[in-house]
Structure 1
Amino acid sequence: MLTDVQLRRLTPREKPYKLSDTGGLFIFVQSSGSRLWRMKYRFGGKEKLLSFGTYPEVTLAAAREARDQARVELRAGRDPSLTRRQRQAEAKRVDKQLQHVGEEWMKAQSARWTPRHAEDVRTSLERLAWPDLGHIDLDEITAPMVLETIKKIEARRAKETARRVRQRLSAIFLFGMAHGLGRHDPASVIKGALAPLIKGRQPALIDLEELKHLFHQVELIPAGGIEEPLIVSSFD
């Protein structure tokens, strides 16, 4: 059985070598000096290997815990190598879902947003975009799907909110493209398909998101500037 003292004293040799722990776990020392955790096991009549990372980044205790988890899989009749690949594939799939990418986008923008504006952005997406699109991978979302979601918002007489949600979705798609998680921005394609904003006298606001945005804009007016015309614009 290996000890921490033993591991710290390991030195490279002319040829790679290994030292065994228990339960199939061993450390493989390369000629370059790298020390790799591996586990030997049998499944389906074949001998296989699992890798658990390098020492000291992965400690002896952590390597043993990973070995124990693999042995649980084996006792359940599952190949731990296959289980690991499935988990990795699932993690990558989740990484590409619109809501996950949106959360990362909001984190990246938080430094330049006020807390109130950050909450406004999050609430609008959680209420109006995630229910329809949040669980779908970026590249699986089409322009008609985005348009359908935005049209639902417009149907509530909330055209300004619809415009802002479309802008935010477009920013998320662009963020995903920059990080290799998507290849297109369907939210930008539908811009011309939205209902135009009516100039002049507006109908009474009946949408909560519209009211919250208006109150936020009023709060941003500096003291003494109340006589200036209120220009509501959004660059988020």
Structure 2
Amino acid sequence: MLTDTKLRGLKPRANPYRIADTNGLCIEVRPTGAKVWRYRYRHDGKPSMITIAEYPIVSLAEARAERDRLRALVKGGANPAQVARTERAAKQEQAATTFAVVAAELLVKRAKEGLSPGSVKRERRMVEKDLVAIGGLPVAEVSVPTLRAALRKIERRGAVETAHRARALAGLVFRYAIAPGRADRNPANDLVGALTQPQTPT
């Protein structure tokens, strides 16, 4: 069984080697000196191995906890490597469909369709500055209250007209996302009339 003292004392060799802990967990020491947690298991009768993370970024206790999670997957009939691939793909898909990413795609499209460089720059700045609170969220998960909070923040700066322009731009982004199925509703539509009206000169 491994201990932190043993782990710290492991030295690199010309070839990678592994030292076992318990229940399939082991540490792999590479020629570079990197120490990597790996978990050995059998799925459908075939031996397999999955990399967990590097030590000491992930501690011995954390590696054992992750090993226990992976063991539970195996006992439930799942293949941890396949589960990891699915989770990785889901994260990549989520990262590719944030509001900011979809907005950037839309601005490229609008520029190609003839929107002036000045307008493109202004709208990009609006996404990066005024709508930053929702930029990192998956576009399908931006709710009416979340969008309203972002627009209210703009209003509190006294930039009422900017808030209205930001709502309109957000609406374009949601509409663009709906067409290919990356979102299923446009929360900006629910905020029509909900913002402070700009003062008109008398």
Matched with 1:44 is 42
SS at match of 1:181: coil
1:138 maps to amino acid: V
Q: Would the alpha carbon gap of residues 190 and 44 (structure 1) be closer, same or farther in structure 2, given more than 3 Å must change?
A: same
Aligned ranges for residues 69-84 of structure 1 at < 5 Å?
74=49, 76=51, 79-84=80-85
> Number of paired residues?
135
Matched with 2:77 is none
Matched with 2:103 is 102
2:124 maps to amino acid: R
Which structure 1 segments of 5+ residues have no match? 1-41, 49-70, 202-236
Matched with 1:121 is 123
SS at match of 2:199: coil
1:83 maps to amino acid: A
Which structure 2 segments of 5+ residues have no match? 1-39, 53-69, 71-79
1:73-121 per-residue CA deviation (whole Å, 9 max, x = no partner) reads: x363695433322221111222332112111111211112222211111
2:42 maps to amino acid: G
1:138 and 1:75 map into 2 onto residues whose CA distance is: 32
1:121 and 1:170 map into 2 onto residues whose CA distance is: 13
Matched with 1:162 is 163
SS at match of 2:163: helix
Contact 1:150–1:165, Cα closer than 8 Å, also in 2: yes
Q: Percent identity?
A: 23
2:45 and 2:169 map into 1 onto residues whose CA distance is: 51
Matched with 2:35 is none
SS at match of 2:197: coil
Matched with 1:134 is 135
Structure with greater Cα Rg: 1
Matched with 1:186 is 187
Q: CA RMSD in A?
A: 2.3
- Report the Cα offset of residue 43 of structure 1: 5.0
SS at match of 2:177: helix
1:199 maps to amino acid: T
Contact 1:96–1:182, Cα closer than 8 Å, also in 2: no
2:147 maps to amino acid: V
Aligned ranges for residues 156-235 of structure 1 at < 5 Å?
156-200=157-201
1:145 and 1:45 map into 2 onto residues whose CA distance is: 43
